[in-house]
Amino acid sequence: MSFWRTLLPKKNDHRYKGNSSRESDILRKKACSAAARSGARLLKKGKAFPEMWHERIGSLLPNRWKFQWRYWRRQTPWDTQVTPPEVMEFIARTPPGKALDLGCGTGTNAITLARHGWRVTGVDFIPKAISAARAKAARSGVAIEFLVANVTDLSALSGPFDYVLDIGCLHALKAEDRSRYATNLSRMLRPQAWYMLYAWLPRPWEGGVVGISTEEVETLLREDFSKVRTEIGEENGNPSSWYWFQRR
């Protein structure tokens, strides 16, 4: 089946039932025209037919399945395979303890922590990412507990932890999920433990806006955490921020 035929509405499409033949033809022509314009826009960007099809599917998926789709397509620009210098700085000045990596992806930062003596648990809601993380840890010769779990429900974990790291997870959550995330975070950290967060500030993303402001982060955590440091910078020309909090 050609790419264009997958875009075109079928004659028995439920949207056209109950309409007269002439009305159905009009609706069908409008849908075909919209599909053609969509395809033309992607072609103008230099997309090949298969890539156009994959992008079209990915744009329609809910958040969790969109990440699953990206891992399957190996379109994971956040998976840099490099631990950020901010985390390396923290490791250098902090005695190892028990660490939790939220949204650990394929385990790069969890493995770095384990190599420096930390006892690490990594969680991610994408099974493919966790499978890759387990394989990487095995090749690296480090013991890490990797779990498929949602950061808004960490009931399977037993704390307390001395350090929690989140690189790019909180800012991707819906507003109603962020309060559950904060509740889990408070439960998981012992008093005086550290929480480090890297988050996008609000920016355009895939037709919408994603990110979290510094004020929102501080409001979310102010009940149980003290802010120690904030560093605002940018990623690919877009604003982002690092945060250091300590559990009270």
- In tens, the pLDDT along 179-210 reads 999 999 999 999 999 999 999 999 988 788 99
Q: Does the structural domain 85-247 have CATH classification 3.40.50.150? A: yes
**pLDDT greater than 70 at residue 150:** yes
pLDDT for 208 equals 86
pLDDT for 101 equals 98
Q: pLDDT-derived band of residue 5, with 50, 70 and 90 as boundaries?
A: very low
Please state, rounded to an integer, the average pLDDT across all residues of the chain.
79
Strands lying side by side in the sheet with 225-235: 145-148, 119-124, 98-102, 161-167, 189-200, 238-247, 225-235
Average pLDDT rounded to a whole number, residues 30-43: 46
pLDDT for 10 equals 43
Domain regions of the chain by residue span: 3-60, 85-247
**pLDDT greater than 80 at residue 143:** yes
Q: pLDDT-derived band of residue 233, with 50, 70 and 90 as boundaries?
A: very high
